Amino acid sequence: MQRRNFLKSALVSSTAVWAGLPIAQTLAAAPKLKITKIRYYAAPGYNKPLFNQARGIVEIETDGGIIGIGEGGSKDMIEQCAQMIIGEDPFRVEHLWQNVYRGMFYPPGREKLHALGALEMALWDIKGKALGVPVYELLGGATRDYVECYATGFRASKAKNEEDRARDCIEAGLRAYRIGPTGGNGDQPFDFYDNAKKTIEFCKRIDSAVGGGGKWALDLHTRFDLTEGIKICKALENLEPYFVEDIVRSENPAVYKTVRQMTNVPIAVGEQFGDRWDINEFIEQRLIDYTRITLPNTGGIGEFKKIASLCETHYVGMIPHFTGPLSTAALVHVLGSSSPNRCLMELGGGEPERPAYFNEDFINFKNGKLYLNPSPGLGVKFDPKKATFVMEVTAKTQFPHPILKSPDGAIHNW
């Protein structure tokens, strides 16, 4: 009976949204839900450490039978964060985010943000499914028809060298081909001077292969010091790459004040960053041309949307680092409903991953572009039988931390 009532309510809310009725009426027709269970699964075949680009799958189940899906986080971080939202209203996405983000004494590190991003992603999925609309509609509606992509590697190519592989990538419809510096692999010593020279020559060959026009980009992987990093950038200025990424290590934003003054190549930074306080100085001081922040690292869809607004204010583009398959799908919803700033999405191997535990059509990719998925929520169906169950959380923490609220109910740091 409960599930039947939920489905009826979801149908009513979906009709209301598409009929253009006020959101208050739509929400009134939606079921009142509470979070009852949170499950965590390991992604089969993914062997990287669980705190490093984790791809665990999160399910948030409600008392109305609707289940939201998220991706990211380690077991311990998911468990602690999940215990803070059991019994809560999943529609209050921002409120729950603030509670988890601020609800302990220490500021959240990037590992916690990764877990929070997975849970918050699942909350948006629940809300979209309950209202019968895709997440991008909840974020303001579509602002672009598709999201352009670039490739790091190109699996579809049969070429035996990078120049031909780059050419195949562009001919397949992708916007650019990203390469890395020479050297830095294996146990061989890294000669900065020699690899700087070789990297410059490599870039010249790639530029010639794709016909210039910003159809390639370079990631220096923070391998060089400032001297060699700038030497490479200065040599590439006339070639006009789409961007040069991680020229030097980026923990200290002040370093990029120096970098910005010494080269005019487009600069990209941020793949290792989390929330807006990690990246805001780079954006506000216009030290970079593109952010590389991604999901779930930012802490979630809402936080990514806020950073997108910050980028719009300062005319900074967004080119998220490649991520897990579900997070890739979520990024299309966010970028597809954000400002018209220039944006690209990175695809490892030149195509999105389609793991067996998700429905094959969960992501819409063709001719090198990612298109919006109009299905409710994130448009992803998860088969838990094809993943590895790790744990389930059904109760709040036994060690709750005090919560400080202002008179209006907003959460503040304790």
pLDDT digits (tens, 9 = 90+) for 352-395: 999 999 998 999 999 999 999 999 999 999 999 999 999 999 99
Pairing of strands 35-42, 388-393: antiparallel
What burial letters (b/e) apply to 138-172, b meaning 16+ CB within 10 Å? bbeeeeeebbbbbbbbbeebeeeebbebbbbbbee
Token representation of residue 335: 């970028």
Query: Is position 17 within any domain?
Result: no
Q: How far is it, in rounded angstroms, from Cα 18 to Cα 363?
A: 23
Name 371's Cβ contacts closer than 8 Å, sequence gap at least 6.
Answer: 145, 146, 147, 332, 364, 365
Q: Is residue 362 part of a domain?
A: yes
342 and 312 together in one domain: yes
pLDDT for position 347: 96
In this structure, the answer to whether residues 258 and 285 fall within a common structural domain is yes
Tell me: do 390 and 341 sit in the same domain: no
Helix then strand count (H, E) for the chain reads 13, 16
Residues in the chain: 414
Instruction: Let me know if residue 376 belongs to a domain.
Output: no
pTM, two decimal places: 0.91
- Listed in sequence order, the DSSP H helices in 185-314 are 192-210, 226-236, 253-262, 276-284, 301-314
What per-residue confidence (pLDDT) applies to 25? 61
Q: Are residues 201 and 232 in the same domain?
A: yes
With respect to residue 1, please indicate whether it lies within any of the assigned structural domains: no
Q: How many domains does the chain have?
A: 2
Gyration radius of the chain's alpha carbons: 22
Identify whether 59 is part of a domain: yes
Same domain as 389, residue 323: no
Contact at 8 Å (CB) between 291 and 314?
no
**Contact present, 283 and 315 (Cβ < 8 Å):** no
Question: What pLDDT score does 22 carry?
Answer: 54
The pLDDT score that the predictor gives to residue 47 is: 66
Residue 111 is part of a domain; what is its CATH number? Answer: 3.30.390.10
Residues 258 and 346 occupy one common structural domain? yes
144 in any annotated domain: yes
Examine residue 377 and state whether it is found in any structural domain, yes or no.
no
Are 244 and 124 in the same domain? no
Residue 5 lies in a domain: no
Residues 347 and 398 in one domain: no
pLDDT < 70 positions in the chain: 1-29, 47-52, 186
Phi-psi region of 30 (alpha: psi -120 to 50; beta: other; left: phi over 0): beta
| 42: β partners | 388
Residue 319's contacts (CB-CB under 8 Å, 6 or more residues apart) are 150, 243, 268, 290, 291, 292, 343, 344, 345, 346
Q: Report the CATH number at residue 194.
A: 3.20.20.120
> Are both 107 and 250 inside the same structural domain?
no
SS3 content of the chain, % helix, strand, coil (to 5): 40, 15, 45
Residue 72 sits in which domain range?
32-131+383-412
Closest listed residue to residue 282, CA positions, set 299, 257, 249, 264: 257
Same domain as 167, residue 195: yes
Q: How confident is the model at residue 16, as a pLDDT?
A: 42
Contact call for residues 177 and 151 (beta carbons, < 8 A): yes
Prior bond to 296 cis, omega within 30? yes
Phi and psi, residue 149, nearest 5°: -130, 155
Say if residue 396 is in the same domain as residue 296: no
Task: Write the Ramachandran bin of 153: left for phi over 0, alpha for psi from -120 to 50, otherwise beta.
Answer: left
Smallest CA-to-CA distance from 124 within 383, 380, 378, 294 is with: 378
- Are 253 and 288 members of one domain? yes
